Amino acid sequence: MKHKLLDIARRLLILLLVVWTVVSLVTVLIELVPGDPATAILGEQATPEQVAQFRAKHGLDRPAFFFSYSEDAGGLRWNGWENRYVDYWREILHGDMGRSFRTDRPVVDLILSRYGATIELAVAALLVAVVIAIPLGVVAGKNRGNLTDNTLSVVALVGISLPSFVVGPLLIYVFAVWLGWLDPSGRFGWSSIILPALTLGSALSALLTRMVRSSVIEELGEDYVRTARAKGLSERTVIYKHVLKNGLIPVVTILGLQLGVLLAGAIITEKIFNWPGLGLLLVDDGINKRDYRIVQGCVLVISVTYIFANTLTDMIYRWLDPRIRVS
């Protein structure tokens, strides 16, 4: 019991350290980017008084990281721990991500309105990748070295090489413009998610196909496979009940790591398909408008989701092979 509590405490400490590091690095980067949020949001026609009022309202008149001093008759006086970085983490500890500079809406509300769409797209892309990769990987592994294996390897290599900003417009042209089967953009129904999920899932499926193929080839040479065949089990049972279960462990590793990549890669895909997720919020309302609070909030949520996905991956490890103890 004591060891379990220590393990939980260690995991929580690592989670907090990772989240703090990621958000801090992003905060440094957006502060270093040239430009003033007040000018970006109010426009070039804003008067100096309007700019000063905007900056005072959102705390932009305080230093970003360093502590402020004021000069009076007695010389320089330290004003305390007053900077935007400390203010932000103080608000986070109280469950507040601040308000958007542009709309003055709570950042939590903006993120919650988009978070479901991003998770929906990431999960759909994972399902697409798994549904494509497992059958193709098994077929390639069973037929190692022949024409089928070589053909599938070439297809997988092409899939890995094509970026989402090439696959996305191509799918839009074929299935939305030419055939007219699916919606080219937006989130209006179940059919709207097909093209963005295929765009995100295709590259991942190509990578997973190669992983499944390698795992199947490695497992087919193990003693337990020869024993299962000697017992008279069908080849299908041997492959899908024994070989695939043991071979999925490295694949699960890739899936857990790739969820974070999907959340990040969804930024481009959401932009292409106008999918109303965190990626679109981060780029259009956060980065383009220099809205620090939205950028920080989106990165915080994505990093926490990524850590949760890795924890879930550890649990699946233990289910696939109870002998595994993740340290």
Query: Per-domain residue ranges for the chain?
Result: 107-320
Residues 6+ apart with CB under 8 A from 240: 138
pLDDT tens per residue across span 150-192: 888 788 777 777 777 788 888 888 888 888 888 888 777 778 8
Nearest partner of 198 among 167, 162, 229, 236, judged by Cα: 167
- Cα 186 to Cα 182, 196, 270, distances in angstroms: 11, 10, 9
With tokens 């990281």, the residue in question is: 65
Q: What is the pLDDT of residues 266-302, one digit of tens each?
A: 778 888 888 888 888 888 888 887 888 888 888 888 8
Burial class of residue 44 (count of CB atoms within 10 Å of its CB; 0-12, 13-18, 19+) = exposed
pLDDT range class, residue 77, cuts 50, 70, 90:
low
- Predicted pLDDT of residue 326: 46
**Helix H or strand E segment including 124:** helix 107-142
d(CA 66, CA 84) in angstroms, rounded, equals 9
107-320 homologous superfamily: MetI-like (1.10.3720.10)
**What number is the average pLDDT over the span 244-255?**
74
Q: Which carries the bigger pLDDT value, residue 76 or residue 38?
A: 38
- Mean pLDDT computed over 230-240: 77
